[in-house]
Structure 1
Amino acid sequence: MILKCEWCEKLHASEIACTVYWELPDGSRAIEITETPGIKCTSCGMEYQTEATIEALEDQLLLVDTKRIGNGIPYDELMALPRFLKRNYFKF
């Protein structure tokens, strides 16, 4: 599926799975998250995550026991970790 790139606005972007590095909410360290849904544009070369993916990652990292996460984790495993709360109640 060809998508419009959010950076250069050309129709040369497609969905990919990529590796990202994310700082934990407490700022103690960063982790590697593999197989993360993303977008890559063949026109400008930009590789990025959608706002929905970013929000899902940040919410999950806020709501799980990050001490259970080593230096890296696949996206699906991260999203399957049990949460302390059902949702982020701090989002208004």
Structure 2
Amino acid sequence: MKCEWCDEEGAFEATNKVYWELPDGSRSIELISVPCIKCPACGMEHQEEDIVEKIETQLLLIDTKKLPPSMTYDEFMSVPRWLKRNYFNF
């Protein structure tokens, strides 16, 4: 796989830890084992756009006040939603 940042071959799928600000700006949460792309050449780790969109959408559809300070990506994505879908995503 080619790295989007340095154009070197050798990037690979992995997981990492990220911190995400809640939509109301009150705090951030730590998400563990989030799918990512890692590049050994430049050291960059990033989430692909579909993962970013899933996290952002989930944050809009759940009760963020009840989130613990830290949780795994899978736990986060399984939090029950208040709404069925993101009505603001055109």
Q: How would you bin the TM-score normalised by the shorter chain?
A: over 0.9
Q: CA deviation at 1:78?
A: 0.5
Corresponding position of 2:45: 47
Q: CA deviation at 1:39?
A: 0.7
1:81 aligns with 2:79: yes
What TM-score comes out, normalization by structure 1 length?
0.94
Cα distance in 1, alignment partners of residues 69 and 11 from structure 2 = 30
Corresponding position of 1:19: 17
1:32 aligns with 2:33: no
Q: CA deviation at 1:13?
A: 0.5
Which residues of structure 2 form unaligned runs of 5+?
none
Which residues of structure 1 form unaligned runs of 5+?
none
Corresponding position of 2:88: 90
- Aligned identity (percent) is 57
What TM-score comes out, normalization by structure 2 length?
0.96
Cα distance in 1, alignment partners of residues 87 and 9 from structure 2 = 37
List, as ranges, runs of 4+ consecutive aligned residues in structure 1 with deviation greater than 3 Å: none
How many residues end up aligned between the 2 structures? 90
Q: CA deviation at 1:10?
A: 1.5
Corresponding position of 2:5: 7
1:35-89 Cα distance to aligned partner (Å, 9 max, x none): 1000100011101000000000000011101112111110000000111111111
RMSD in angstroms over aligned alpha carbons?
0.7
Specify the code of the residue in structure 1 equivalent to 2:3.
C
